Amino acid sequence: PLLRALYFFFMNTFTKTLTPHFRQTDSAGVLFFNEAFNLFHDAYEEWAASLVGDAKKWFNNETWAVPIKKANADFRRPLYAFD
């Protein structure tokens, strides 16, 4: 059972389309850099919910944890609200 769970965990594909909102941009309408990580975390929560059925079960689990150890972003072009 553990091997099957690990296989599902690592081989399952999750796709999420994220849209920057106006409140996440600076005065020029460009996504403020730290908001990229907030968008990523929103997707992370939905991914976790897709695995266990409810994000609360994922984050309130006392048996195991899957921390985000490192995160970085390469900004290749500006992201604007509603892109």
What's the rounded Cα separation, in Å, for the pair 16 and 50? Answer: 11
Residue by residue, DSSP assigns 30-51 as BBPTTHHHHHHHHHHHHHHHHH
Check if 26 is active-site.
yes
Catalytic-role residue among 26, 42, 54, 83? 26
Query: Which are the catalytic amino acids?
Result: 26
